[in-house]
Amino acid sequence: MANKEKGFIKNGDRFRGEHRTYRGEILAALIIIVIVIAIAFRVNQIFYGFDNPQITPAGTSNAGKDEGAAKPPAGFRQSPDWKLMLVNHDHPLEKDFDGELTELRYGQSVDSRIYPDLQEMFDEMRENGLSPRVVQGYRSYSEQENRLRSKISEYMSYGKSKEEAERLALQWEAAPGTSEHELGICVDISSETGENASANEVWNWMDENCWKYGFIKRYPNNKSQITGVRGEPWHYRYVGAEAAEEIMKKGITLEEYLGAVPVK
């Protein structure tokens, strides 16, 4: 009988071998699942800023929680000059835009009073071989409100609580009534193609020359603690030629120019 069993696997050995195989397959599957989850979480970090350091809007989020929190300066008054109206978390709009809008190519609109200088600036860029494009201009209160709601919903779809989703969304979208886009005198600028290289060329030109046409780079990377907004290389604000020259040449913000810097 022993000779007849030679070369064959006994039933018990077969079971143990199959058991080890199944256990190995399950372990491999679990490892793959863990890797996929880790990759997905990392992608969310990169594209949605889940764990990016929070930039606290000046004088708002920490109010009442931290005695050293930034607060609006005492005695600040809005300029009567429409070009220098300050709009941020501390200084929301008191009324909706009621002026005249000029529609641009691709459907965006701006306050008609800034259109001549904007057009002249774009003409100059095109003469220098660039292809600028306004990707965002005027937005109404309701449009800004919808953008914020959409961003909150996006974060909640990734498992964030409503409170956490609101906190994160406000790092990317201003609350309605606090966005400069509601003034109609700022523009988000890119290139015709939208490619990084061509967009960077447009922004580099703007950084050097926008003040000549009354525009400033509104949210520099190194001024986030003053503006309360992450650096936005695409966002330019019209303030008029005189103010723009001083702001850009001194490397200051509109808040600093107007004396509205939050104080400790």
Active-site residue set:
232
C-alpha 99/C-alpha 84 separation (Å) is 16
How far is CA 144 from each of CA 4, 105, 115, 138, 171, rounded to the nearest angstrom? 83, 21, 22, 10, 14
